[in-house]
Amino acid sequence: MSMDKRVLAMADALLLLEKELRALHMWSDSAPTAQALASTEPFCLDTLSFEQWLQWLFLPRMHILVEEGRLFSGKSSIRAMGEVVWRERLSQTRPLLDVLGQVDALISQGQS
């Protein structure tokens, strides 16, 4: 997949990710504190819920990359993290997990 198509596909996946978070009532109107957002732990596990990390850190950073027409490449395990976090609600969160899987695949496609 060319970089342009990959960026467009990521833009679509990010919109779908927000839609699914909202549909599951995992979207918040209140931002976490600056201190909570500044965590250095993976996924900010010590200060944020996974859905907060998706909304307040991952989505904004990915939107910037999409707007700039560039994406990073590498191994991505966001879906796997979601499966761990939402293991008690896998059937309810399946559409959201599927979107996270799409995001993982798009990031991984950029690997050489």
What does the pLDDT look like over 67-76, one tens digit per residue?
999 887 889 9
What does the pLDDT look like over 27-75, one tens digit per residue?
999 999 999 999 999 899 999 999 999 999 999 999 999 999 988 788 9
Please state which architecture CATH assigns to domain 3-25+48-109.
Up-down Bundle (1.20)
- Dihedral angle, C-alpha 53, 57, 61, 66, nearest 10 °: 40
Nearest residue to 59 via CA among 20, 93, 95 = 20
For the chain, the domains span 3-25+48-109
Q: Which pTM was predicted?
A: 0.90
- Dihedral angle, C-alpha 21, 80, 86, 84, nearest 10 °: -150
